[in-house]
Amino acid sequence: MEIVDILPWQDEIRNRISDQFLNQKLPHAFLFEGPAGVGKFEFARGLAQKFLCNRFLSDTNIAPCGSCTACLLIKAGTHSDLRLIQPVDSKQIKIDQIRDLILWVGKTSLRNGLKITIVEPAEQMNQRSANALLKCLEEPAPNTMIMLLSSRAGSLLPTIRSRCQTVKFTIPSRNMALDWLSQTAPELEDPELRLDIADGIPGLALSVSNDDLKIRLQIVEAMKSVMVEKGSALSAVRLFKKPNLESILLICATLLADCVKLKLTKTDLVIKNKDIISELSTIANHCNVQFLIAAYERIGRDLKSVRGPSNPNESLLFESLMIDLGRETLL
Ligand SMILES: [Zn+2]
């Protein structure tokens, strides 16, 4: 028997929803809320598979079999009673996608009756799509279930939230996360470091690549060069061929946050990048804490600009950041 996408830290939620099913108290809509990388999507797909699996018709207690036609269709992403709504070639879930969904929900199921929709990430619905979906939630069609997945559920319409049953997905304990990583990816090097960098979130730890680890070393050297040794900012920037500014800024932010923590707590227990503590300590010792905090905030503004619609010149933005870090003129 294949149990699909079972994550050990979701047992309690799984049991609770199974009880709801047995007591015929399942809602028409769930809101699965929690940080990216804790396994909301895996859970939603697993739950859909459980409900649609052919064996579920005869035994509601079992996990999906993994081998019946329904399970195989889900695995192939082609089950006619499961629909996944995600942003297409843009950052938004558009109204046409929700209109299609409403039409689809209105038709009778070809299989065992239940039709399931996963909307992910739900916060990517624009206002029109959200309003259209709201109608669907207000007047739910029989035998339908909608699962909204979100890591920023606070940005959803309150009227949408109030029509869903919210289930909170939390970050598992460190031991559980490390056990899961060692079973899922036994070949993964430095799992503890990856988990630290990923804020303890196992799914994110898994996606930290060797290149991500390496580029941190390059960035901390560049920061040390301009901030401590007063080296040339332009030479530091030129070391990065085709930089992905968003990921560089995110890494700079975690490195600066570590410097602030080192400065304020005088201990390395709370920092993420423990393998480069000596470089981070050098930067922390050289700068005052106000400057480090101002630099962190400045990077937050740069990130907003890179992610926003203004399309800034990324090379110039990177250069200007490094020059200001060297000059200590961020305030
Ligand atoms: Zn099955």
Own/partner pairs, 48-54, CB within 8 angstroms, 24+ separation: 48/74, 48/82, 48/116, 48/118, 48/145, 48/147, 49/4, 49/74, 51/114, 51/116, 51/145, 52/79, 52/81, 52/82, 52/111, 52/112, 52/114, 52/116, 54/112
The dihedral region occupied by 37, where left means phi > 0, alpha psi between -120 and 50, and beta the remainder, is left
Calculate how far, in angstroms, residue 68's C-alpha sits from the geometric centre of ligand 1. Answer: 4
Give every strand in the sheet of 115-119, ordered side by side: 82-85, 115-119, 144-150, 29-33, 165-168
Under CATH, which number does the domain 209-327 receive?
1.20.272.10
Supply the pLDDT for residue 90: 67
Supply the pLDDT for residue 1: 30
pLDDT digits (tens, 9 = 90+) for 53-77: 988 877 777 778 889 999 999 999 9
Mean pLDDT of 242-252: 88
Query: Which of 1, 5, 12, 15 is CA-nearest to residue 39?
Result: 5
Calculate how far, in angstroms, residue 293's C-alpha sits from the geometric centre of ligand 1. Answer: 53
Helix (H) or strand (E) run with residue 84 in it: strand 82-85
Percent with pLDDT over 90 in the chain: 70
Calculate how far, in angstroms, residue 161's C-alpha sits from the geometric centre of ligand 1. Answer: 31
Supply the pLDDT for residue 266: 79
Calculate how far, in angstroms, residue 9's C-alpha sits from the geometric centre of ligand 1. Answer: 23
Calculate how far, in angstroms, residue 66's C-alpha sits from the geometric centre of ligand 1. Answer: 5
Calculate how far, in angstroms, residue 44's C-alpha sits from the geometric centre of ligand 1. Answer: 16
Calculate how far, in angstroms, residue 22's C-alpha sits from the geometric centre of ligand 1. Answer: 19
pLDDT digits (tens, 9 = 90+) for 2-32: 334 578 899 899 889 988 888 889 999 999 9
Calculate how far, in angstroms, residue 207's C-alpha sits from the geometric centre of ligand 1. Answer: 29
Mean pLDDT of 278-284: 96
Supply the pLDDT for residue 112: 58
pLDDT at 329 over 90: no
pLDDT digits (tens, 9 = 90+) for 164-208: 999 999 999 999 999 999 999 999 999 999 999 998 999 999 989
* Average pLDDT of the chain, as a whole number: 90
Say if residue 90 is exposed, middle or buried (CB neighbours under 10 Å; 0-12, 13-18, 19+).
Answer: exposed
Homologous superfamily of 8-168 = P-loop containing nucleotide triphosphate hydrolases (3.40.50.300)
Calculate how far, in angstroms, residue 95's C-alpha sits from the geometric centre of ligand 1. Answer: 33
Supply the pLDDT for residue 63: 79
pLDDT digits (tens, 9 = 90+) for 67-126: 999 999 999 999 999 999 999 876 799 999 999 999 998 887 766 578 999 999 999 999
Calculate how far, in angstroms, residue 115's C-alpha sits from the geometric centre of ligand 1. Answer: 16
Decide which of 309 and 99 is more confident. Answer: 99
Mean pLDDT of 217-236: 94
Supply the pLDDT for residue 249: 94
Q: What residues sit around ligand 1, an ion, with C-beta below 5 angstroms?
A: 53, 64-65, 68, 71
Supply the pLDDT for residue 4: 42
Mean pLDDT of 135-153: 92
Calculate how far, in angstroms, residue 41's C-alpha sits from the geometric centre of ligand 1. Answer: 19
Calculate how far, in angstroms, residue 82's C-alpha sits from the geometric centre of ligand 1. Answer: 14
